[in-house]
A and B are shown apart, each in its own frame.
Chain A
Amino acid sequence: MGTAASSASGPLQTPLHALHRERGARLVPFAGYEMPVQYPAGIIAEHRHTRGAASLFDVSYMGQATLRAAAGHDAATVFERLVPGDIVGLAPGQMRYTLLLAPDGGIRDDLMAMRAADSATDLLHLVVNAGTKDTDVAHMSAALGGRATVERHDDRALLALQGPQAAAVMARLAPDAAALRFMHGAPVAVAGFPCLVMRSGYTGEDGFEISVADDAAEALARRLLAEPEVAPAGLGARDSLRLEAGLCLYGHDIDRTTGPVEAGLAWTIAKRRRAAADFPGAAPILAALVSGSARRRVGLRPEGRQPVREGADILDAAGDVVGRVTSGGWSPTLDAPIAMGYVAAGHAAPGTSLAVTMRGKAVACAIAALPFVVPNYRR
């Protein structure tokens, strides 16, 4: 968000920075920004509010961009050169989770791609991670080689309204948005503000992601927070919600050194794309699909109540290191610690007993099926 909104040397700020302070947020550095980790309610209360009602998250640090084809090209077709998903098959206004892949099959980023809702307009809306947005845009522009251009929207904020009551809130402020199906989006006025609304999110709940111009973001956020169902939530709850939903956090659970098969993201590789083998890293990725990967992303349920943390070694019964924790924390829904990590394929079956070393002590863990908490998407 607006480099213009930042001080010369300090962290970047989103257009909601003053509102966060006003609501008593505890601010922490995140991907170059100063963002709320929690409000006075606390992470567990914010998490439960999201699962029970609706929470508003400021995710303006995410990278928003538009991909437009050059004359004689088609946006979806040229974008498929970079990702393994079925982009050509997207209906107007439909969106898909996909991966920017490297030639060795590593994951450069995970992102959302949406075809313009207006069928006469040939463009894709992209939402990428904060920490990778600079390199993503440079990479995409170079790899598209004049067949398309990628324009960043650093002048737009992104608000996520998430929870089972999000749709009821939207029905009052933007009936057209409330009618959107899951993983679809459209330009819609929300409380009178022009927005691009997508029915999507990162919490395992029904909800909306709302792209809005920087200069309207605070007024819109205040309007949403004035609804009786809505409370603000920070990065802490966002992390525990996505971990319960089994969703990957880029730079932790997936990165340049992990491939889609071992990450459990082979479902993002469309059937047509497998047959054509026409995406970056197709050879190693398709080989892993056939022979299986050496390691696999798994869920972990530690015994007892002590959370296990990112970076901890995972050991087998003999005490040999067979993997590593990539995300660990607390599940308010299960009232227990949960974690994700990679283990050697032979130890990846749900129910397998392993251990995680924390402070030199072994904490018993069992492999658990993902997600930990079944998502509540509105299909």
Chain B
Amino acid sequence: MSAVRFTEDHEWIRTEGDVATVGITDYAQQQLGDVVYVELPQPGRALARGDEAAVVESVKAAAEVYAPVDGEVVEANGALEGDPGLVNRAAQAEGWFFRVKLASPAQLDALMDEAGYAKFVEGL
């Protein structure tokens, strides 16, 4: 089973077993506009929750992508290097950023579910 959780910094994280996929939300890509560059973490890098894990730059702005949980990077989405616009077209699917092996799965409980995030965005 997979569940998607969300952060207040507009990352999403979908867990499948002990590995989770992380990206930025559709709301975040809309706010950024046309994405032209993405810098991804190297596989093997140990991330602590809140670490700056990736950078996303649009025509107008730059933004950090923070690690939503502790874990080791097991894969980065190489497709974004040649086609950063994938973040705009499919932020919550093919436009994922990286995958981590979860160190503390219980950290997920502190994140918002889809309804909670929708409500959070509505209040912005």
A interface residues (Cβ-Cβ under 8 A, vs B): 26, 37-38, 42-44, 236, 239-240, 305-307, 309, 329-330, 332, 337, 359
Contacts and interface: CB of A to CB of B under 8 A. Distances in A.
Contacts of A236: 33, 59-60
A305 B59 contact: no
Interface residues of B, number: 14
A305 B33 contact: no
A329 B60 CA distance: 7
Nearest to A40: B30
Contacts of B117: none
B59 A329 contact: yes
B55 A42 contact: no
B55 A307 contact: no
B37 A306 contact: yes
B20 interface: no
Contacts of A43: 33-34, 58-60
Given A240-B59, A329-B60, A305 B36 contact: yes
Given A305-B36, A330-B59, 10 more contacts: A26-B33, A37-B60, A43-B33, A43-B34, A43-B60, A236-B33, A240-B59, A307-B36, A329-B60, A332-B59
Contacts of A359: 55
Residue among B30, B33, B34, B59 with the highest chain A CB neighbour number at 10 A: B59
B33 A307 contact: no
A44 B59 contact: yes
Return the 5 tightest CB-CB contacts between A and B, nearest first. Answer: A330-B59, A43-B59, A44-B34, A306-B37, A305-B37
A359 B53 CA distance: 13
A309 B57 CA distance: 10
A132 B58 CA distance: 28
Contacts of B121: none
Contacts, number: 42
B57 A42 contact: no
Contacts of B37: 305-307, 337
A37 B32 CA distance: 11
Residue among A305, A337, A359 with the highest chain B CB neighbour number at 10 A: A305
A83 B37 CA distance: 42
B62 interface: yes
B57 A306 contact: yes
Contact of A309 (B33, B39, B62, B88): B62
Nearest to B39: A306
Interface in B36-70: 36-37, 39, 55, 57-60, 62
Contacts of B84: 305
A364 to B, nearest CB: 15
A67 B95 CA distance: 55
Contacts of B59: 43-44, 236, 240, 307, 329-330, 332
Nearest to A305: B37
Contacts of B62: 307, 309
Contacts of B30: 26
A329 B84 CA distance: 15
Given A43-B59, A307-B57, A330 B36 contact: yes
Nearest to B61: A309
Contacts of A37: 33, 60
A305 B57 CA distance: 10
Interface in B72-86: 84
Contacts of A337: 36-37
Contacts of B39: 306
A346 to B, nearest CB: 30
Interface string B80-120: 00001000100000000000000000000000000000000
8 contacts: A37-B33, A38-B33, A43-B33, A43-B60, A44-B59, A236-B33, A307-B37, A309-B62
Nearest to B85: A44
A51 to B, nearest CB: 15
Contacts of B57: 306-307
A28 to B, nearest CB: 9
Contacts of A26: 30, 33
Contacts of A44: 34, 59
A244 B55 CA distance: 24
B90 to A, nearest CB: 15
Contacts of A42: 33-34, 88
A309 B59 CA distance: 10
A306 B57 CA distance: 7
B61 to A, nearest CB: 9
B97 to A, nearest CB: 16
